[in-house]
Every structure is written in structure tokens, then in C-alpha cells.
Amino acid sequence: MDWSHYRFHSVWYLAAPPARVYATLERTAEYPHWWPQIRRVEPDPRDGRSGTAVFRSLLPYDLRVTVTARRTDPGGGVLEAALGGDLEGWVRWTLLPAPAGGTRAVYDQEVVVRKPLMRRLAVPGRPFFRLNHALMMRSGRRGLAARLEAV
């Protein structure tokens, strides 16, 4: 087993319709305004499909990741990107109408950690890294819900 390999899956229920959630998630440069652990997003002005993001959650380290859009499908409610840098892999949002109204936002991510310190601490640190990610996702859901309510 590669202890630096992670798969994450989260489901968020949001009161806004899928098209509005998609429009908000599509504006990645605005993530730091509503997702506190995403410290910085720097779009690449050359192509409009990529950029760099800096994340920091509870643990005292930054992750610097390049993000390149792979799939943008507003009609299908799918946003997918390739990741490089400290995390290598992919991330995908799939947005569906929720049975009770609003949106069921499914977040899937599969990555290999490339940050040297995290690789050295892969085995003893794994539960803390997973908890760190879970706390970041909880905060992101709260921030997105508040952002959608404010708009």
C-alpha cells in the first residue's frame, strides 16, 4: 500500500439550485472568500484553465497545488481538474438536484502526496492528514452554504 495515496469522498446538501452552485464553484479565484483554508488562488492568465492554489487547514503546513481544468460541463453539473505539485491526481465536483430540493454536491478526490515532509510522515501522520482534510471539507461546506445564501 502506498501510504501517501488518498481517496476522499464528500457529499454536501445545499439549499441553492445546481446551476447556482455550479456557477459559484466554477469561479475558483473566489474560493478564498468563502473557504478559509484555501489561502490563495492565482489563475494563470495565459490559458484561463489553470492556476495555483495554496491550502492550509489545521495542521501547520501549506500545500501548493497546480490546478488544471479537465472537464467543465454545466449541463451535466461536472467540474473536474487535474492536480500537480504537492498533491498529484484529480478532483471532481458532481452536482445533482437533491430529492428534497436544492443540490446534492458530490466531491471526489484521488491524490498522491508529493510534499516531502508529508511523505516522510505518511504512516504515523495518516490519521491526522485525513482528519485535517475532513475539517477543511466541513469548513468549505459551511462557507459555500453561507456564500450561496448571501447571493
For helices 18-26 and 122-150, what crossing angle results, to 10°?
120
CATH class of 5-150: alpha beta
CA–CA separation, 24 and 17 (whole Å): 11
The tens digit of pLDDT for each residue in 124-149 reads 999 999 999 999 999 999 999 999 99
The type of residue at 143 is G
The tens digit of pLDDT for each residue in 113-122 reads 999 999 999 9
CA–CA separation, 108 and 11 (whole Å): 9
| Mean pLDDT, the chain, whole residue set | 96
CA–CA separation, 100 and 102 (whole Å): 7
Q: What is the pLDDT of residue 86?
A: 98
Q: What is the pLDDT of residue 1?
A: 78
Q: What is the pLDDT of residue 47?
A: 87
Domain residue spans of the chain: 5-150
CA angle 61, 63, 66 (to 5 degrees): 170
CA–CA separation, 130 and 98 (whole Å): 27
Please give the average per-residue pLDDT across 92-112, as a whole number: 97
The tens digit of pLDDT for each residue in 20-31 reads 999 999 999 999
The tens digit of pLDDT for each residue in 51-65 reads 999 999 999 999 999
